[in-house]
């Protein structure tokens, strides 16, 4: 898999994960905490890869 394909997959996952996080009603649940941990990981990976998250990060946590 190329770097470009990996970035595309990561961006798609980041977007999908934010949808899931917004639909979660209990921000203190274990599920939400796990989603937030993955959100943070993806955010670091994408930022380190030079992706500007300004437009695609609508959770902003």
Task: Give a yes or no: residue 55 inside a domain.
Answer: no
In this prediction the pTM is: 0.89
Residue-level pLDDT, tens digit, the chain, 61 residues: 899 999 999 999 999 999 999 999 999 999 999 999 999 999 999 999 999 999 999 997 7
Task: Give a yes or no: residue 59 inside a domain.
Answer: no
Residue-level pLDDT at 61? 75
| 3-state per-residue secondary structure call for the chain | CCHHHHHHHHHHHHHHHHHHHHHCCCCCCHHHHHHHHHHHHHHHHHHHCCCCCCCCCCCCC
Task: Give a yes or no: residue 18 inside a domain.
Answer: yes
Task: Give a yes or no: residue 54 inside a domain.
Answer: no
The total number of structural domains in the chain stands at 1
């Amino acid at each position: 898999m190329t770097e470009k394909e990996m970035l595309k997959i990561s961006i798609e996952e980041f977007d999908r994960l934010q949808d899931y996080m917004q639909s979660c009603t209990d921000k203190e649940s274990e599920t939400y905490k796990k989603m937030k941990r993955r959100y943070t990981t993806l955010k670091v990976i994408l930022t380190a890869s030079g992706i500007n998250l300004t437009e695609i990060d609508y959770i902003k946590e």
